[in-house]
Structure 1
Amino acid sequence: MPDLPKHVHFHEEGPREGFQIERGTFPLADRAALVDALSETGLDEIQVASFVSPKAVPQMADSEALFDTIKRKPGVRYDAVWLNERGYERARAATGVHITGRIALYASDAFALRNNNCTAAEMRARVDGWLDRYAADGVPMERALVMAAFGCNFEGSVDPARAVGELVWAWKTCRARGMASPRLYLADTMGWANPQSIRRAVGLLREALPEAEVGLHLHDTRGLGPANVMAALEMGVSHFDSSVAGLGGCPFAGHGDSRGAGNICTEDMVFLCHEMGIGTGIDLEALVEAARLAERIIGRPLPGRLMHAGTLTAYRQRRAAA
């Protein structure tokens, strides 16, 4: 088992992940204010919006206007999600979107059909077209992600070897083309992972590709998000997708009356890292204030813990002054 990482990088997805699942829409100015607040926390990568069908996800219909409205801070990358050629073109035409090459794959046919209207094999077949396009446009390859890597609400348990196999295929495909090796993300899209399955999947991926960099996209659907992060840290993983205040969830990942729960909570996981002496480069107090802003915008209690309990900074300052 590797030592704990010395530094952990958080890719903030709350502005996109959070608002896309809400049943209503929110003022553009409020969403821009949240992005601007996050920009002042030390986060260096913020996912602002998605360029997807306004009919399927009306909450993201004004993504271009949102990118026009935010105040960009030097050193911060503002990125977005797209699922098809039209979305990619919209992202490239929008103001200041950081475009990087990415591959999205599936370990579940049922979820692939629900989310992308294709099977997992059909999604893999589309990758060559995307890689051709990225190469033609001079877009650097950065990440490959496999969704439903630990289980699927529509298909059941997922063999970790299947998820790992998708990422190994993506990595080797990029290498065969002479492209940069992507960082490989296992995504627990619907909250099926537990610490044991995290260790198993990360271990299998490391055995298959010892030189690859591994990241995780975790949801806290059933309360195991922090435990899964801890297991990943103990495996030396240092890249995580997360959402301020625990916002979010995939609108196509729910089952019955439920909806997919949000990502692991950024400020709670930053707090975890800081308490263990792991650097993040993030101002935790500023991040907590951004989480409280998110809660005011949404208008209901959000699942983040630290935003309600407070950090230990003030307590320690009082103790030191006593």
Structure 2
Amino acid sequence: MSLPMRIEIHEEGPREGFQIEKPGFSIADRAGLVEALAQAGLPQIQVASFVNPVKVPQMADAPELFRAIRKQPGVRYTGLWLNEKGFERAVAVPEVDLEGVLYFYTSDAFCRLNNGVSAQAQAQDQRRWVERYAARGVPVRKAYVLTAFGCNFEGAIPQERLKEVLADMASLQDEHRIRLDEVYLADTVGWANPRSVSERVELARRFFPHARIGLHLHDTRGTGMANALAGLQAGVDLFDASVAGLGGCPFSGHAHGGAAGNICTEDLVFMCNEMGLETGIDLECLIEAARLAERIIGRRLDGRVMHSGSLKAFPTRSR
């Protein structure tokens, strides 16, 4: 066990959360939530996605949302796109902090649903994305392996399959002379367990010994925070999370709806604080941001600490 002294959390809630909700939330409310998250100390916030406005009307106003945010110095405000048209829309908005991200899949079935192509075709297209980013002067430093642990269509993903994808990513890195500084394993629909997290983080390190290994965890089956702890114990210092547990995946194939949202940002910060790990995030301020998200959405959200409060009001305890 090698716990990091400090971890970095990237916030996904404003994009992932509102993308799965019904349309109709105001730009002012959503911009206010982004501003509250920045005020709490989140270093990077994924604000919106640039996707087909007909298929995802919740994100049709992404350019206007970016323009409405009062930015905090030192915070990155990013977006997501799945194709070249979406990328060009993002490029046209100066307020977007562009980052070149590559996406690979272990599950062919999930990739076909999410991207409309096979996992193999998606992997080949990432080579073209490196060239597209280079043409726009956008550096490529980050890659995700989606469904890195399992898929509701194909079941548990064998480590050998993950190994194949990681090997392909490493070969792309060598072919195009780029350096992937951040490699994320994404438990897209909630198949990970603490043991598999430990094993697959170690596997990713074998292929990318120089990179920071990140985790993008969903709490579909209630193991999200246990999986985060396993990641911390494996030395992971980079996590995606979602304020108040917002979000989910509409293409999960789950019989009772999509996958649950990312692990909850304020719950993760609370756990790290109690373990003596630095996050750079003001927990009390973050709790208020989570409560703001709940007021905007208009129903009780899944975060725990936002409802129970932190331990600040209790007598000081020795750890």
TM range (shorter): over 0.9
How far did residue 257 of structure 1 move?
3.7
Counterpart CA distance in 2 for 1:53 and 1:160 is: 34
Query: What is the one-letter code of the residue matched to 1:296?
Result: R
- 2:304 is aligned to 305
Counterpart CA distance in 1 for 2:253 and 2:277 is: 34
Could you say what secondary structure the match of 1:196 adopts?
A: helix
Counterpart CA distance in 2 for 1:128 and 1:155 is: 26
* Conservation of the 8 A alpha-carbon contact between 2:10 and 2:239: yes
- 1:105 is aligned to 104
Counterpart CA distance in 1 for 2:24 and 2:149 is: 31
Counterpart CA distance in 1 for 2:48 and 2:253 is: 20
Alignment of 1:197-276 (within 5 A): 197-276=196-275
* Conservation of the 8 A alpha-carbon contact between 2:201 and 2:213: yes
* Conservation of the 8 A alpha-carbon contact between 2:220 and 2:259: yes
Deviations 1:6-27 (A, max 9, x none): 1100000000010111134311
How far did residue 55 of structure 1 move?
1.9
Counterpart CA distance in 2 for 1:118 and 1:299 is: 36
How far did residue 254 of structure 1 move?
4.0
Deviations 1:58-117 (A, max 9, x none): 111110110011110110000010000000001111131011111011110100010000
Query: What is the one-letter code of the residue matched to 1:303?
Result: D
Could you say what secondary structure the match of 2:45 adopts?
A: strand
Deviations 1:98-154 (A, max 9, x none): 111110111101000100000000001101110111112111112110111111111
- 2:65 is aligned to 66
Alignment of 1:53-132 (within 5 A): 53-132=52-131
* Conservation of the 8 A alpha-carbon contact between 1:175 and 1:181: no
Query: What is the one-letter code of the residue matched to 1:30?
Result: D
Could you say what secondary structure the match of 2:30 adopts?
A: helix
Deviations 1:257-305 (A, max 9, x none): 4122100000000111111111010000000000000001111111100
Greater shift in the superposed pair: 279-288 or 95-104? 95-104
Counterpart CA distance in 2 for 1:184 and 1:61 is: 29
Gap regions ≥5 residues in structure 2 = none
CA spacing shift, 1:213–1:161, aligned 2, 3 Å: farther
* Conservation of the 8 A alpha-carbon contact between 2:244 and 2:294: yes
* Conservation of the 8 A alpha-carbon contact between 1:10 and 1:239: yes
Could you say what secondary structure the match of 2:239 adopts?
A: strand
Counterpart CA distance in 1 for 2:197 and 2:76 is: 28
**Is 2:187 the counterpart of 1:184?**
no
Could you say what secondary structure the match of 2:211 adopts?
A: coil
Query: What is the one-letter code of the residue matched to 2:215?
Result: L
Counterpart CA distance in 1 for 2:180 and 2:18 is: 31
* Conservation of the 8 A alpha-carbon contact between 2:166 and 2:207: no
Could you say what secondary structure the match of 2:19 adopts?
A: coil
Greater shift in the superposed pair: 235-244 or 177-186? 177-186
Counterpart CA distance in 1 for 2:27 and 2:250 is: 20
TM-score normalised to structure 1 length: 0.95
Alignment RMSD: 1.5
